[in-house]
A and B are shown apart, each in its own frame.
Chain A
């Protein structure tokens, strides 16, 4: 599947911003099942400094400095992305939870090292004893890992309610757990914190999900949102994506932008401003199939 993606972010500030630095994760990364055919970023006002680079996790990252006074900042990323997912594996035939732990304890070669990295607590997915206790029944050592992880994803989908008003970007994962509510970002962090609390590797994936028009009506332009889910690591096979928000097998409807330990590593836009006062953000995302 080939998609045309448009992601427009508009910041409006109450007071002029004299200078601002930004770090952007807005360019879809390439991978075994995804190819970014082209990508463009429009920035208004134009930056004085722009550096396109790759971060530690291999994600494309853009650093900007805007040195002219402004009250509004528009970042418009557009891309064409091709997604070809492989045939799904049988979760029941993946290595067991115990085997995964064993494997990581001896990690030396690059792919195991990079999986080990995702077993430790991080800023947005800290260790929470309550989460460990809640998740543990799904992960007996002899159970196939992917089967267990899929069950965790299904449990989150079943027991939690999607509610954008219940949480904010600053809500700790323990609070979302207590409320049993949140959005995709909270659910991804919850699942990640659960897995890591049990010593298992999980990473945060940021991207887009193609949404279907409701009730067969026409698709609303800009109505789509950016999305987040997680991925777990299976030796030899690599990383498998899970979407607890929708309890979907991640297939060709998910477009990956970046991955990291948690949201903090891959926030679409972060920034430091001098001045600015209060601000509002407006985000419009379109993910349109080109085929």
Chain B
């Protein structure tokens, strides 16, 4: 307890008018602060308002930088897609947690045994413990997994359970996540952010860390893979899915490849990953896609979500899958009405954590009762994930005719539905200005098989409710972290991982670069470079506008440069595009092809897709660029000074990204493809600039064009230091086109490209198509004579320069195409032609 009177006043202010109702995590019924919260509350008070605001800001920043969102492509200010994390965690004392832990382990065991029986001997159906329609009528019953002769198979390697504390203080289960438990990534990102913002309180409360759990999880997954050097992949849908962030974060945290169905292929009963280095065998799939849609051949209706032949590969025992296909049978609330009986039948125990009261609507008596009570109705095996909630049907909200239609439907397919009595949630404190307010909450807990038994993550993903009652884990009202606090500092987790790493073979290359990722990295390089070029151009134009603008170039030249970039996209609205200001505004702020706004979107999209491949710092720089809302300013009036500052910031961010790429990335293929994209784009941009500012000008030396060319080509200082003169044509062309020592020159880009191309994987001993193309261009550049390039004939034409630029202008996009065709082509999806033949008998 604090003795400082100021802190004590602060503490009382925090607790002022804290409403009392049902069970509250912080305040006991008698109004005293529960022991687990005392140190935390004192610490929170001692921080003062300013300290708390700083902590909130630091948490927010950590979250934004992680890119956490339901739609990773969305505008980060869009609240519908934003992840909201409450500053204050929910604190639970370790001894209370131990009981929950016991209950969660029991439940994982129970559901695993149930699934093993239902996909094996089915004794639970034959002795009537479970109604047959619940199982045989379930859309999640994956029939190819049924093996009556194999009663001992494991189904749940990973499991998550949604728990709520009710207003009277007892814990209940709200739902089981069995098919593909989702949310670890959100929980991890939330923990990182919350422990960042409240670092001192985190230490002060002796909160248990999550790392130990994930180390055991890794151990288990490795053991499941069956090889001590096994390849593990996380199979998920695309980034458009609301849960994608969670998968990406988890995959990165555990160090596994995040893949989509199209990245996998089955050959010879084995599962392979399509990588740049050819097909690589996969030993374990951590499945985040629906099990019932896992294989278009064996499970009709799977479509492109599935991997053809996966069922066969798993059946052959040469690839493991977590969770096993068909685990979705116990998903959601399907088993809830029966768990009490199942637990006694299969484990000989009573349930440690009770079930939120649930009615199976396949039973006529239960159905009648539930409908009479007007209880909310939901699909028995519904998923309910952050950002993708289950929406229960509320009979009370239905018109009489709709209610009758519901009753009729349930009569027919009640076996697929449950009704549930709403639970009144307990509350936990949240900060509202200077005082605390209670908020209803529930939590998703994560469980994993570790050796022979299950282990529970000491924490969870707390979800806040917008109403005092609910039937499922709430959605849409933000999250909290869950802290399990101890009396003493938590023991140091013995690092199992370290022990294992000592035995591992040393490697110098990353393992797998997916063909699809190589494609995205290449384009990330191109888009980042393109964005930088557009920013430099806009900056150069803006510095020459206005009263105090520099007047060294004819406005017509600037016009021509902007026109050239804009001409690559659709024609601007209106035949007369207007003033330079207007053109710059269009270029920067209008959503159009080759415009800055769209280019930055492309940068973010491609970076998101390869997030598991680039460094955290690199990601943070690009994420900061994306979250900066100034780029989404309303177009129209262009205010020169703020826009210039913005452009300076943007160029700095992109340069920093290029810097981490150059300094911090190992020279593997990830880096190589990023680099190749960058080099090609830089050379293409340069060719355009030289065309406008040297080839097209009658007298580039005196109309300011060459100076602008050096500026845009970022070579002005180099030129100055060499020549100490005003720019002259031959030396400028030499510096920008031919000089291999200038990292902004065409020659440098080609030399780098040649080096990368030589090191790309190839099965043939002679030069590849892209190597020949690069060689051709770099030879042309090496053989060019700067004086001849600069020489104009009587009519003012520079024929040599024109020929070289044409050659580069055609050759560079051709290199890009060849690389695309050669290395990214097998990223193509399979053509699924199920049902090739029909029965035509008469």
List residues of chain A with CB under 8 Å of any chain B CB: 9, 11, 19, 21-23, 48-49, 51, 55-56, 63, 65, 67, 107-110, 113, 116-117, 119-121, 123, 127, 162, 164, 168-170, 183-185, 188, 197, 199, 206, 208-209, 225-228, 245-246, 263-265, 267-276, 279, 281, 283
Contacts and interface: CB of A to CB of B under 8 A. Distances in A.
Contacts of A63: 297, 309, 312
B297 A21 contact: yes
B841 A65 contact: no
B125 interface: yes
A261 to B, nearest CB: 9
A183 B830 contact: no
B830 A272 contact: yes
B301 A123 contact: yes
B841 A225 contact: yes
CB-CB nearest 9 A-B residue pairs: A227-B841, A264-B300, A272-B308, A56-B143, A228-B839, A169-B838, A185-B839, A184-B841, A120-B137
A279 B267 contact: no
A9 B298 CA distance: 20
A274 B300 CA distance: 18
B834 A267 contact: yes
A169 B835 contact: yes
Given A51-B312, A164-B840, A267-B836, 6 more contacts: A19-B265, A21-B266, A120-B136, A206-B839, A227-B841, A267-B835
Contact of B136 (A117, A188, A264): A117
Contacts of A246: 842
Contacts of B267: 19, 48-49, 65, 67
A162 B655 CA distance: 70
Nearest to A266: B839
Given A56-B143, A272-B308, A281-B836, A116 B300 contact: no
B146 interface: yes
B144 interface: yes
Contacts of A65: 266-268, 309
A107 B132 contact: yes
Contact of B837 (A119, A170, A281): A281
A183 B840 contact: yes
6 contacts: A113-B126, A169-B837, A206-B839, A267-B300, A271-B833, A274-B265
Contacts of A273: 830-833
Contact of B832 (A169, A272, A279): A272
A113 B835 contact: no
Contact of A123 (B125, B300, B412, B831): B300
A168 B835 CA distance: 11
B269 A49 contact: yes
Given A63-B312, A65-B266, A273-B833, A183 B839 contact: yes
Contacts of B136: 113, 116-117, 120
B84 to A, nearest CB: 40
B297 A113 contact: no
Contact of B126 (A108, A123, A268): A108
A49 B316 CA distance: 12
A78 to B, nearest CB: 17
B296 interface: yes
Q: Is the interface of B mostly helix, strand, loop or mixed?
A: loop
B648 to A, nearest CB: 49
Nearest to B312: A63
Contacts of B830: 272-274
Nearest to B142: A56
Contact of B835 (A49, A120, A264, A279): A264
A127 B126 contact: no
Given A108-B125, A265-B300, A273-B831, A56 B146 contact: yes
Contacts of A51: 269, 312
Contact of A183 (B266, B413, B831, B842): B842
B128 interface: yes
A188 B838 CA distance: 12
Contacts, number: 151
Contact of A108 (B128, B137, B831, B838): B128
A170 B838 CA distance: 10
Of the candidates B127, B312, B828, the one having the most CB atoms from chain A within 10 angstroms of its own CB is B312
B567 interface: no
Contact of B297 (A23, A107, A208): A23
Contacts of B413: 121, 127
The winner among A51, A263, A272 for most chain B CB atoms within 10 A is A272
Contacts of A188: 839
Helix, strand, loop or mixed for chain A's interface? mixed
Contact of A245 (B126, B127, B412, B842): B842
B308 to A, nearest CB: 4
A183 B835 contact: no
B268 A49 contact: yes
A246 B308 CA distance: 37
B297 A271 contact: yes
Contacts of A283: 837
A56 B412 contact: no
B839 A225 contact: yes
A245 B832 CA distance: 30
Contacts of B698: none
Nearest to B409: A127
Nearest to B139: A120
B133 interface: yes
B841 A264 contact: no
Contacts of B832: 272-273
Given A56-B143, A113-B136, A264 B301 contact: yes
Contacts of B143: 55-56
A226 B838 CA distance: 8
Contact of B833 (A245, A263, A272): A272
Interface in B279-300: 296-298, 300
Contacts of A184: 839-842
Given A225-B841, A227-B841, A276-B831, A56 B125 contact: no
A31 B807 CA distance: 73
Contact of A270 (B128, B297, B839): B297
B838 A185 contact: yes
Contacts of A275: 831
B708 to A, nearest CB: 50
Nearest to A204: B839
A263 B835 contact: yes
Contacts of A279: 833, 836
Interface in B788-842: 828, 830-842
Interface in B421-437: none
A208 B841 CA distance: 8
Contacts of B835: 169-170, 263-264, 267, 270
A95 to B, nearest CB: 19
A48 B364 CA distance: 52
A4 to B, nearest CB: 18
A200 to B, nearest CB: 12
A6 B385 CA distance: 52
Nearest to A227: B841
Contacts of B269: 49, 51
Contact of B834 (A121, A208, A271): A271
Contacts of A199: 412
Contact of A228 (B144, B828, B841): B841
B839 A274 contact: no
Contacts of A228: 839, 841
Interface in B296-355: 296-298, 300-301, 308-309, 312
Nearest to A283: B837
Nearest to A170: B835
A117 B298 CA distance: 18
A222 to B, nearest CB: 13
Interface in B537-557: none
Contacts of A264: 300-301, 834-835
Contacts of A121: 413
A271 B836 contact: yes
Nearest to A11: B836
A226 B842 contact: no
